[in-house]
Structure 1
Amino acid sequence: MISELANRRYGLFLQPSKKALVHSRLAKRLRALKLTSFEDYCSLLNKTEGEAERPHLLSALTTNVTHFFREIHHFEFLKDVLMPQLLAKAQAGNPVRLWSSACSSGQEAYSIAAALVAAAPKVAQYDFKILATDIDPQVVRAAKFAVYPTEQIATIPPLWRDQLTGSGRPPLGEFKINARLQELISFGELNLVADWPMQRNFDVIFCRNATIYFDKTTQARLWQRFADVMVDGGHLMIGHSERLSGPAQAQLKSVAITTYQKLTGPFA
């Protein structure tokens, strides 16, 4: 029942091998809600009064494990290879749009912003914008808050550490993201398998370690949707355990480690 509901609402594909893990995580929610069965829990989720519980379900079913500059080769490629092109585009008066499509608690989006600033310290004076979205409203709120435990600084390369940390006074044991990076990013909730409201196409899309939650058909459909909202010559970054599939393979060529570029012209 839980797997059917998760697939219907969020497109999540829960493999049978994860049944014990899902049961363990959701058992905590049943205890918190004083429910005696999963049937009662599913019944609650399908009711209007169960709306407040749905974010807890999402958090239980997905693993929001991330850190700054995870799979750092993507950010190095963005800074060293793509930014000269993107900056030239912006300097010509054109908008540049990047999308962190499964941003979790924000580390990926802030790492993208830091890479932009590292390559072009005055990037904010041009029309650069990063859209950062996630299906889980709880992690989106955390991303907007922009405060993280100090132990996460250890994962930040020295080159970008000073750019990431701000001058505010967060609680002891935490640090706040630099305000100039926050200004480059707009955070929002978005279900990747639902409608997308964005009007502009993207120059760079990050979708890393998100499609592992979908079945093969949904994965192929999602890759194609990304290709459809990218500018010609735009780039897609995916997770190290993910593989392109479906019609999008004809439009996206590999140009670096788990990095793809959209071809121009007619496609086979």
Structure 2
Amino acid sequence: MKPEPSADLACHKARFRALVTQTTGIQMPENKQSMIEGRMRRRYTSIGLKSMDDYLVHLFEKDGLTEEMTHIVDLVSTNKTDFFREPAHFKWLMHKILPEHPAGQPFKLWSAAASSGQEAYTIAMLLSEYAGNVPDFKYGILGTDISPAILDEARAGVYPEEQLLDIPDALLDRYFVMGHNSKGLRCGRVEKTLRDRVRFAQMNLIHGNYPVDKELDVVFLRNVLIYFDSKTQSRVISEITDHLKVGGHLFVGHSESMVVSDSRLKQVSFAVFKKERAT
């Protein structure tokens, strides 16, 4: 029979879960302890520790928390994304939003949970294609995420070949340079001109006061709200809506429509909301 953890270790586990939620907004109830330990295993073994219990002692009894905090954030963040994920959203962007965009005005879009960059680069490809047909169309894309390590991957723009399967062949040929990584595996890199059109920055959505332009045309906030409690969901939605222009659109994940309750927003399609008024 597995021995019960000591009172100190039980306290450390609760403190760790609370720390993750306080820092990232991600809910970590006690029944997710095994998931937490699985995600942290690579980190604690890399610094010579044998168990999660040893790691907790290192954090809370041996002053290791400050040095480890960035690694903890990187590992507990989900970072699951794909190119052209939820494709109906991109069709709405191309066929409903862009044709109504005022000529001569820059189009400003924020990918607010950008992870390793697939969403932002999907959008960049589509906006680049649109710009090819509308010569005076100018655009800017900001991608943000809480994890500095995952943002380094996004900036590099290098993806294994199997992650590129959902990209139409014409776009793959135009916007990716194919090759092999250091392990000899085939991969593709977003070509430099497109990489330069996307700016990535580290940002924690639960902190508020986002250093992001106002009067944005579109915000993609997909598949991150589900990890927050209801109070945090409402606050994040409200603050992001503050950054949208009247007439701008918010995209959320398909499982997140029910948590969007800001009175300034009207649902116009599945998981797509339009800001109808300023206050």
Normalised TM-score (structure 1): 0.86
Structure 1 residues 149 and 240: CA distance shift in structure 2, 3 A: same
Deviation at 1:259, TM superposition (A): 0.7
Separation of aligned partners in 1, 2:70 and 2:197: 26
Separation of aligned partners in 1, 2:55 and 2:218: 41
Residues 111 and 220 in structure 2, CA contact (< 8 A), matched pair in contact too: yes
Structure 1 residues 43 and 236: CA distance shift in structure 2, 3 A: same
The structure 2 residue matched to 1:149, chosen from 138, 160, 163, is 160
Separation of aligned partners in 2, 1:122 and 1:177: 21
The structure 1 residue matched to 2:109, chosen from 83, 98, 102, is 98
Residues 102 and 132 in structure 1, CA contact (< 8 A), matched pair in contact too: yes
Structure 1 residues 176 and 229: CA distance shift in structure 2, 3 A: same
Counterpart of 1:40 in structure 2 is: 57
- Where 2:132 maps in the other structure, the secondary structure is coil
The letter for the 2-side match of 1:77 is W
Residue 189 in 1 paired to residue 226 in 2? no
Residues 98 and 205 in structure 1, CA contact (< 8 A), matched pair in contact too: yes
Q: Deviations over 1:171-208 (max 9, x none)?
A: 45111112232122111100011131123331100011
- Where 1:104 maps in the other structure, the secondary structure is coil
Q: What value does the CA root-mean-square deviation take over the aligned residues?
A: 2.4
Separation of aligned partners in 2, 1:132 and 1:181: 13
- Where 1:155 maps in the other structure, the secondary structure is coil
Separation of aligned partners in 2, 1:21 and 1:191: 22
Counterpart of 2:77 in structure 1 is: 62
Normalised TM-score (structure 2): 0.83
Residues 238 and 259 in structure 1, CA contact (< 8 A), matched pair in contact too: yes
Separation of aligned partners in 1, 2:135 and 2:211: 24
Task: Give the total of aligned pairs.
Answer: 258
Deviation at 1:18, TM superposition (A): 1.7
The structure 1 residue matched to 2:33, chosen from 10, 19, 31, is 19
Counterpart of 1:117 in structure 2 is: 128
The structure 1 residue matched to 2:140, chosen from 129, 143, 160, is 129
Structure 1 residues 39 and 74: CA distance shift in structure 2, 3 A: same
Structure 1 residues 177 and 41: CA distance shift in structure 2, 3 A: same
Q: Deviations over 1:137-174 (max 9, x none)?
A: 011000001111112221213353334314x7564511
Percent identity over the alignment? 31
Gaps of 5+ in 1: none
Separation of aligned partners in 2, 1:216 and 1:50: 28
Residues 58 and 136 in structure 1, CA contact (< 8 A), matched pair in contact too: yes
More deviation, 13-22/119-128? 119-128
Gaps of 5+ in 2: 1-14
The letter for the 2-side match of 1:144 is R
